[in-house]
Amino acid sequence: MVVANQKGGVGKTTTTVNLAASLALHGARVLVVDLDPQGNASTALGIDHHADVPSIYDVLVESRPLSEVVQPVPDVEGLFCAPATIDLAGAEIELVSLVARESRLQRAITAYEQPLDYILIDCPPSLGLLTVNALVAGQEVLIPIQCEYYALEGLGQLLRNVDLVRGHLNPTLHVSTILLTMYDGRTRLASQVADEVRSHFGEEVLRTSIPRSVRISEAPSYGQTVLTYDPGSSGALSYLEAAREIALKGVGVHL
Ligand code: ATP
Ligand code: MG
């Protein structure tokens, strides 16, 4: 599942790590691929990602096997992370001259032999070659949308890119899931944006939206997901519920 939105700060990383942890806590085996040079998903999962750590850069640019960079996430059984280091910032340019530059992540994932139920890929806030690699490697796209004005601006471009990748490189790719994030039910704007997103996307929008929650934003500074940092908080419960919807959708049950 590719977690993408080229708009910055909409909750891609927060959604990736907390959904991944929720699915793992339900008993699934889950790999998070950190595809953002900022390395925020690696930080949030408590994974070392200083410059010397074997990382997704080595996989994409040096063709190193994914199994050599994947690390188990401390505290969450069944959760794994392929970290990103700052090297990845150069990959966007280095990839340009490499063969099969759009499908390097796909090849690495196909060759990865460990049993997994889900792979979640955290994309950077751009539509460059890193995001294209994610779209070529993935089966479905999850778009987090922050309930703010401008939320839908720029989405058209992401959807066109999904169509292009589907047309040329990955025929089964589709936008399966929209998740409303940082929802503040007290504001009229948030509910207007939510209504607009629901009328535009319909079925794909999860019923569960993620509330704005201080606990969610504090967790990464402890190298934790909100699921281990404060399991009873509204933020943790909403991600568990969103994960349950995704898991049921995956087996064809719509709530
Ligand atoms: P980027 O485009 O830079 O990769 P992103 O889309 O991955 O950003 P996040 O890093 O997940 O977005 O979130 C942006 C900021 O909002 C972070 O500081 C995060 O802690 C905070 N945040 C995300 N979701 C919530 C929430 N539900 N409640 C409160 N704060 C949140
Ligand atoms: Mg991010």
pLDDT band at 69 (very low <50, low <70, confident <90, very high): very high
Q: Is the dihedral of CA 81, 82, 87, 90 positive or negative?
A: negative
| Domain regions of the chain by residue span | 2-250
In the chain, which residue ranges form alpha helices assigned H by DSSP? Answer: 12-25, 40-44, 56-62, 88-94, 104-111, 129-137, 155-168, 188-201, 214-218, 226-229, 234-250
Residue 253 has pLDDT above 80, yes or no: no
Task: Return the best residue to mutate from 15, 142, 217 for the ligand 1 pocket (most ligand atoms within 8 A of CB).
Answer: 217
Collect residues with CB below 5 Å from ion ligand 2: 12-13, 40
Q: How far is the CA of 20 from the centre of ligand 2 (A)?
A: 14
List the beta bridge partners of residue 211. Answer: 183
Distances (CA, A) of 147 to 10, 35, 51, 120, 189: 9, 24, 35, 22, 8
Q: Give 101-126 pLDDT, tens digit per residue.
A: 999 999 999 999 999 999 999 999 99
- Mean pLDDT of all residues belonging to the chain: 95
Show the ligand 1 pocket: residues with CB < 6 angstroms: 8-14, 36, 40, 125, 181-182, 210, 212-213, 216-217, 235
* 79 DSSP 8-state letter: E
Residue with tokens 């994932």: 109
DSSP state, residue 176: E
pLDDT of residue 250: 79
Give yes or no for residue 24 having a pLDDT over 70: yes
For 82-91, the pLDDT digits (tens) are 999 999 999 9
Q: Looking at ligand 1, which residue's alpha carbon is closest to its atom 19?
A: 217
- How far is the centre of ligand 2, averaged over its atoms, from the C-alpha of 218 (Å)? 15
Distances (CA, A) of 146 to 64, 88, 162: 35, 26, 20
Q: pTM of the full predicted structure?
A: 0.97
Predicted local distance difference test score (pLDDT) of residue 153: 86
Determine the topology of domain 2-250 in CATH: Rossmann fold (3.40.50)
| Ligand closest to the CA atom of residue 34 | 2
pLDDT in tens, 206-252: 999 999 999 999 999 999 999 999 999 999 999 999 999 999 987 76
